[in-house]
Amino acid sequence: MLGDAMMSERYLGSGGVLLLGMIAMTAAIFSLTNLVGWDAAWRAFGVTPLQPPFFDMHVINDYAECARKGVDAYAPRACSVVNFNIPPAWLWIGSLGVNGSDSPWLSAAIITAAATIMVLLFKGRSRSQGVVALGALISPTVLMGVERANLDLLILALVGCAALIYEERSAARIGGAVALICSGIVLKLIPVFCVSLIARLSKRALIFACVVAAFSLLYLSYIFDYVVLIRRNVPTTFILSYGYKAAFMGIDHLRAELTPIHLEETWAPTLTAAAVFFGAGALALHTHRRTESFAISASPAGTAFLFGAGIYCGTYVLGTNFVYRLMFLLLCIPQLQDWQTQRRNGNQSTGNAELGLYATVVGALWLNGNANGHSVSAFLVLPQILNLILFFSMSAVLVLVFLRGLSVAVCGLRRAKN
């Protein structure tokens, strides 16, 4: 019987569970769409839908077509009900004749790319871990990005692919990972936070981070005028959002019947985020010699974790982000699952702290979504508290990993001198 169980696990592990689960989910959404329509189908899965279907991809294509005709794409609502708020590279597709009618197949392409990379990233784990991963993948926050065909799905695919191919013993694989991350930066800037790989403090990781940082600075200086326009055009709202300002904007909204105090415009959000970050750093400094917890592996899972944690912390301090951007937390889950496997195998260095972070990540993916997203009930205190705890935890882990790497480097220098 044990042999049968092992054979079953071999042929239907985590990758198989994810693949079958996503196929079933796709079939369910298409069936519901045919029965009750696009909006009702997505609301059944806890997602606040927008029209037309694959709304965010439509926005990109509509603006690209307008730009081809000479319209200023960064003018407020020049070609859509929302503003254009991504780098100008996307406007070039208009010269290829791309327009709104191409949105369905382009949406299918980026959704498929992201799904494929997730299957590859999660494969090789147990069936039960595959079920948890599938639960994270079909959470309302991730499905919100799918429903809108948001560009973050393509960036997730690029960053996840970079984590899969990164290998510190291979200069060619590092170069490939750098190329993928830099491509993502050109397309949507967010992968700039993948410099968090520097936390490993190895020679190759340092080279990777420095090259990515240098490219980012050059690219940002090149498109600086557009960055100002992008920042102006990015919507700032507490609705279905996370970030250091989101909670304070929600508090003001809840007390709108009284005199609003506009907390988000005061120093309160910045000071709170700074206090949380420095508190996380102090905790890491205090504990890095006393615990072996949160040992990041050199595997793709470890690289993906550092990328995902860096993107979460980096986007959190941007102010507000729509919750579909929490999809980058998916990159952290393989390492979190590996820690639980080590714990079951008797590794004493992993314990409740890793399990707590695992639960917090999955909880954030599920609790931030809300099908009634355009009402007062959209602002939920628990998700915002959870997001703040996650910012504290991820910051602490990144600082902890960096301090460990620094200790190893200092010890190596001392041995070399002796």
Residue 54 confidence (pLDDT) above 90:
yes
The boundaries of the domain holding residue 51 are: 12-417
Three-state DSSP at 321 gives strand
Residue 13: the pLDDT is 83
Separation in Å, CA 84 to CA 54, 66, 87, 321, 414:
16, 11, 9, 15, 53
Q: Which amino acid is at 234?
A: V
Residue 155 confidence (pLDDT) above 50:
yes
Q: For residue 251, is it within any domain?
A: yes
Q: How many CA atoms lie within 13 A of 418 on its CB side?
A: 6
Residue 201: the pLDDT is 84
Residue 248: the pLDDT is 80
Q: How confident is the model at residue 377 (pLDDT cuts 50, 70, 90)?
A: very low
Residues contacting residue 209 through CB under 8 Å, at least 6 positions apart? 195, 196, 197, 198
Q: For residue 177, is it within any domain?
A: yes
Greater confidence (285 vs 85) lies with: 85
Q: For residue 304, is it within any domain?
A: yes
CA-based radius of gyration for the chain: 22
Q: pLDDT by residue (tens digit) across 193-231?
A: 999 999 988 889 999 999 999 999 999 999 999 999 999
Total domains in the fold of the chain: 1
pTM of the complete model = 0.91
Q: For residue 5, is it within any domain?
A: no
Q: For residue 2, is it within any domain?
A: no
Q: For residue 386, is it within any domain?
A: yes
**Mean pLDDT on 342-350:** 76
Q: pLDDT by residue (tens digit) across 13-49?
A: 888 999 999 999 999 999 999 999 999 999 999 898 9
Question: What is the 8-class DSSP label of residue 288?
Answer: T
**Mean pLDDT on 52-81:** 93
Q: Provide the token pair at 299.
A: 């595997």
Residue 150 confidence (pLDDT) above 60:
yes
Q: For residue 85, is it within any domain?
A: yes
Residue 375: the pLDDT is 45
Q: For residue 131, is it within any domain?
A: yes
- For residue 227, which phi and psi values (nearest 5 degrees)? -60, -40
Residue 278: the pLDDT is 86
Q: How far apart, in whole angstroms, are the C-alpha atoms of residue 121 and residue 266?
A: 41
Residue 370: the pLDDT is 66
